[in-house]
Amino acid sequence: MPRPIRVALVVALVLGTLGFLAEPSVAGTRVDPVIRNHMTGWVSRTGGFHVYRPGATARLQVGVWPSFAGETVRARLEWRGQGRSWRLLDRSNASLNRDSRAMFEVRRVPEGFSFRIRVRIGATQEHRAERSGWSYFRAR
């Protein structure tokens, strides 16, 4: 398991306060988090879309590296009908667990609409903001 960035930041700050020269590029740099996500429970894939049965629950599993346990990730869910543009449907928050993972669920996916979801983690003193790519799904 990777070493949490908080430990590395504390070591750099302690070295700086003890009078040792810490590299400015290490002591003042925030890391770029990496967000990995994948959808589960789908029955097939077509044209870049994960396909679910009508009424099924679509689950998006999210993992963030390095570990930022306890921080909040935000999901944005959008939908569109045939020939329409993407529109916001919902926003949701989840806290990362000790393994820096979270899960979002879309229950009772209706037939006839396309959906996309992505996850974002906000900037803090330890890391920059980052967002995942879109994950597309629909029921058929």
Tens of pLDDT, residues 62-87: 999 988 899 999 999 999 998 899 99
- Closest by Cα among 59, 79, 77, 62 to 121: 62
Q: For residue 10, what is the DSSP state?
A: H
Residues 17-44: tens digit of each pLDDT: 333 333 333 556 789 999 999 999 999 9
Task: Print the domain residue range for 2.
Answer: 1-30
CATH no. for residue 83?
2.60.40.10
- Give CA–CA dist 131/137, Å, rounded: 18
Note whether 26 and 65 are same-domain residues.
Answer: no
Note whether 43 and 82 are same-domain residues.
Answer: yes
Please report which confidence band the pLDDT of residue 5 belongs to, taking 50, 70 and 90 as the band edges. Answer: very low
- Give CA–CA dist 117/78, Å, rounded: 6
Tell me the pTM.
0.75
Whether pLDDT at 91 is above 60: yes
